[in-house]
């Protein structure tokens, strides 16, 4: 089987999540068994070796998972394998090999703990998986980088809290639970293992988040040393968490803050210049609509630093639904459609705003994408209405005649505008564009034909 697994595929995402889950289970259980149980158990061994098999399979998965280099996804199996063998294979293999089986028939122990449990600590190297998985997720554009960083820190803090609890309890057990040890002082030496662990994890969390509540305090030198290290680790870890959370919140709110500052500055200026309240309310409504629709971002200026071909592809994706309603995009070849898309500009009109007025000379063609607009004759009477998909301005532009009608919005409207200069350029460079216009005109709605018959040219 030579099929390559995409690094950002759903299968790989699920697999990475399982790796994090099984890594957490194996690391926490191995250290828990050593610190609190102190003997090898059949159930524990079965659990550990089952996880080993899963992570061994993960090596096979890694040997056929693509990776990115210099903006390109590498799909060549030989390159994938070569890179994996050079960087991660040795560490991953050490993390799954059962070295303790070399001592399976030995009664050797250290600090009263079987050597098998101590050798199993080699599996703590699996913490590399955590760093690798989260680092990969940080580089994937479809994931929130801030949330990934916070998730990684919380994951590591939970493991750290568990490890500290195990070290804190084992520091007393390793010296035969002397009378001045914290375990004996708290009368935990003969209590169930679950109670010993809960008390240990309690001390670990309180010491890492604060400086403890004073109910469990160090008395022996080793306990003082552990407490000092834990306080440093806890202060650093939680400072990182708080810093990342603050950074994430500010990042989430940055676009809204920029938009709000812009709006506040505009209103401050308008009020200082004593602009009438009606106009200010229209501007406020426009900014509110703009935020709800585009979060303050304009497609016209979006990603201007991209190459023209890539920006065109992006615009096609962003405006797919809007341009699908335009009749002119139903005709012509792809080249003309692309030229139109690059030449069109998107404009938003507030309610009760004139898009064009009677008596004006046409300088653009308008394609209505969202909203409805009333058609008015020279007397200002409503004679019909434009709906999404309709367009106007072409006859006045081609005939070079003044408009004999007006168009006024009755709600927020979004229109694509094709300026006269771009219209003439496309028509001159692509003669077949005239055929496109003719075909689109033939399918024009009855109401537009009715306007022509009544000498209303817009």
Residue 417 lies in a domain: yes
Instruction: Name the domain count of the chain.
Output: 3
- Residue 221: which region, alpha, beta or left (left: phi > 0; alpha: psi -120 to 50)? alpha
Q: Is the pTM of this model over 0.85?
A: no
Q: Are residues 314 and 359 in the same domain?
A: yes
Position 443 scores a pLDDT of: 59
Residue 80 contacts residue 4 (beta carbons within 8 Å): yes
Q: What is the C-alpha separation between 168 and 230, in angstroms, rounded?
A: 10
| Token pair in block for residue 140 | 């994937």
Residue 299 contacts residue 315 (beta carbons within 8 Å): yes
Residue 26 lies in a domain: yes
Position 374 scores a pLDDT of: 93
Q: What is the CA radius of gyration of the chain?
A: 35
Out of 216, 237, 254, a domain closes at 254
Position 306 scores a pLDDT of: 72
Q: Are residues 96 and 231 in the same domain?
A: no
User: Helix 420-429 to helix 334-343 angle, to the nearest 10 degrees?
Assistant: 160
Q: Are residues 65 and 192 in the same domain?
A: no
Q: Are residues 399 and 347 in the same domain?
A: yes
| Token pair in block for residue 358 | 């009677």
Residue 325 contacts residue 369 (beta carbons within 8 Å): yes
For the chain, what is the HEC assignment?
Answer: CCCCECCCCHHHHHHHHHHHHHHHHHHHHHHHHHHHHCCCCHHHHHHHHHHHHHHHHHHHHHCCECEEECCEEECCHHHHHHHHHHHCHHHHHHCCCCHHHHHCCCCCEECCEEHHHHHHHHHHHHHHHHHHHHHHHHCCCCCCHHHHHHHHHHHHHHHHHHHHHHHHHHHHHCCCCCCCCHHHHCCCCCCCHHHHHHHHHHHHHHHHHCCCCCCCCCCCHHHHHHHHHHHHHHHHHHHHHHHHHHHHHHHHHHHHHHHHHHHHHHHHHHHHCCCCHHHHHHHHHHHHHHHHHHCCCCHHHCCCCCCHHHHHHHHHHHCHHHHHCCHHHHCCCHHHHHHHHHHCEEEEECCCCEEECCCCECCEEEEEEECCEEEECCCCCEEEEECCCCEECHHHHHHCCECCCEEEECCCEEEEEEEHHHHHHHHHHCCCHHHHHHHHHHCCCHHHHHHHHCCCCC
C-alpha distances (whole Å) from 127 to each of 21, 153, 232, 240, 400 are 12, 13, 21, 19, 73
Q: Are residues 77 and 222 in the same domain?
A: no
Q: Are residues 37 and 116 in the same domain?
A: yes
Phi, psi of 155 (to 5 degrees): -60, -50
Position 314 scores a pLDDT of: 77
Residue 285 lies in a domain: no
Residue 133 lies in a domain: yes
Out of 140, 157, 184, a domain closes at 140
Range of the domain at 164: 144-254
Q: Are residues 39 and 27 in the same domain?
A: yes
Q: Are residues 222 and 162 in the same domain?
A: yes
Of 179, 177, 164, 173, nearest to 228 by C-alpha is 164
pLDDT mean by block of 10 residues, the chain; 458 residues: 81 92 95 92 93 93 87 86 91 90 85 89 91 84 72 88 92 86 88 93 86 76 89 79 70 69 84 85 84 68 70 75 69 80 86 92 88 90 86 83 91 90 89 77 65 79
What CATH code is carried by the domain that includes residue 227? 1.10.287.70
Out of 121, 140, 159, a domain closes at 140
Q: Are residues 7 and 38 in the same domain?
A: yes
Q: Are residues 368 and 404 in the same domain?
A: yes
Q: Which residue has the tokens 């079965």?
A: 46
Q: Are residues 216 and 349 in the same domain?
A: no
Residue 283 lies in a domain: no
Residue 264 lies in a domain: no
Q: Are residues 191 and 107 in the same domain?
A: no
Contacts of 205 (CB under 8 A, 6+ apart): 161
Residue 176 lies in a domain: yes
Q: How far is CA 99 from the centre of its chain?
A: 41
Q: Which residues pair with 5 in a beta bridge?
A: 65
Residue 294 lies in a domain: no
Q: What is the C-alpha separation between 162 and 165, in angstroms, rounded?
A: 5
What CATH code is carried by the domain that includes residue 403? 2.60.120.10
């Amino acid at each position: 089987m030579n099929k390559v697994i995409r690094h950002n595929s759903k299968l790989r995402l699920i697999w990475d999540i399982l790796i994090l889950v099984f890594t957490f289970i194996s690391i926490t259980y191995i250290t828990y068994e050593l610190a609190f149980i102190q003997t090898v158990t059949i159930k524990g061994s079965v659990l550990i070796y089952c996880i080993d098999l899963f992570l061994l399979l993960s090596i096979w998965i890694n040997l056929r998972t693509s990776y990115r280099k210099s903006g390109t996804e590498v799909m060549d199996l030989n390159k994938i394998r070569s890179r994996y063998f050079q960087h991660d294979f040795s560490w991953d293999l050490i993390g799954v090999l059962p070295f303790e089986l070399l001592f399976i028939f030995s009664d050797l122990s250290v600090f009263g703990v079987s050597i098998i449990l101590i050798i199993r600590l080699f599996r703590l190297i699996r913490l590399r998986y955590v760093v690798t998985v989260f680092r990969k997720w940080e580089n994937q554009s479809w994931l929130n980088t801030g949330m990934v960083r916070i998730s990684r820190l919380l994951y590591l803090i939970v493991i750290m809290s568990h490890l500290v609890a195990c070290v804190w309890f084992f520091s007393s057990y390793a010296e035969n639970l002397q009378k001045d040890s914290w375990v004996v002082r708290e009368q935990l030496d003969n209590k169930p293992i679950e109670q010993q662990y809960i008390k240990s994890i309690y001390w670990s969390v309180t010491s890492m988040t604060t400086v403890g509540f004073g109910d469990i305090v160090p008395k022996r030198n080793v306990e003082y040393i552990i407490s000092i290290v834990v306080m440093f680790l806890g202060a650093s870890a939680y400072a990182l968490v708080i810093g990342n959370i603050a950074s994430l919140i500010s990042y989430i709110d940055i676009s809204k803050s920029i938009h709000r500052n812009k709006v506040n500055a505009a209103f401050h200026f308008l009020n200082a210049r004593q602009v009438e309240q009606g106009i200010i309310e229209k501007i406020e409504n426009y900014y509110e609509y703009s935020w709800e629709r585009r979060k303050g971002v304009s497609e016209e200026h979006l990603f201007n630093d991209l190459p023209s071909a890539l920006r065109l592809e992006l615009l096609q994706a962003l405006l797919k639904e809007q341009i699908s309603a335009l009749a002119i995009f139903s005709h012509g070849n792809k080249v003309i459609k692309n030229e139109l898309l690059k030449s069109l500009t998107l404009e938003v009109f507030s309610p009760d705003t004139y898009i064009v007025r009677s008596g004006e000379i046409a300088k653009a063609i308008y394609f209505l994408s969202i909203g409805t607009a009333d058609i008015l004759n020279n007397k200002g009477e409503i004679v019909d209405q434009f709906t999404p998909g309709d367009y106007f301005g072409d006859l006045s532009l081609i005939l070079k005649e003044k408009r004999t009608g007006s168009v006024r919005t009755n709600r927020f409207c979004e229109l694509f505008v094709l300026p006269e200069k771009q219209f003439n350029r496309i028509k001159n460079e692509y003669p077949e564009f005239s055929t496109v216009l003719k075909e689109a005109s033939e399918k024009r709605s009855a109401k537009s034909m009715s306007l022509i018959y009544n000498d209303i040219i817009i």
